[in-house]
Amino acid sequence: MSRKRRKKRMNRNLSIILVFVVLVCGGLGVRTVELKRQEIELTERHEALEKQLGVEQQRTRQLEELEKYMQTKKFVEEVAKEKLGLVYPDEILIQPDNK
């Protein structure tokens, strides 16, 4: 009977080990799915940020160009004419009649 007890005990131990292995594999499978989903989300976010970075870099270039233009004499003249209504002494300003 001793052999039967050993065999029974061994079968019980193997069953416990098998259940443990199945639980570990199940946990790893769930974690793998979660990590894959997270990878997809992070990839989408990275692409969106790369696109936004490109837009912001373009905007920076436009602002730098505007800054250079604002330092020119032509810009100062335009602002003086449009906003302040100033003209050169030898200029004649002709305005249409508003009827």
pLDDT one-digit tens code per residue, 26-84: 999 999 999 999 999 999 999 999 999 999 999 999 999 999 999 999 999 888 888 88
Contacts of 28 (CB under 8 A, 6+ apart): none
Degrees, nearest 5: CA angle 56-60-62: 115
Does residue 31 contact residue 37 with C-beta atoms inside 8 Å? no
Whether 19 contacts 12, CB under 8 Å:
no
Query: Is residue 71 a contact partner of residue 77, using CB atoms and an 8 Å limit?
Result: no
Residue 22 pLDDT exceeds 80: yes
Judge if pTM exceeds 0.75: no
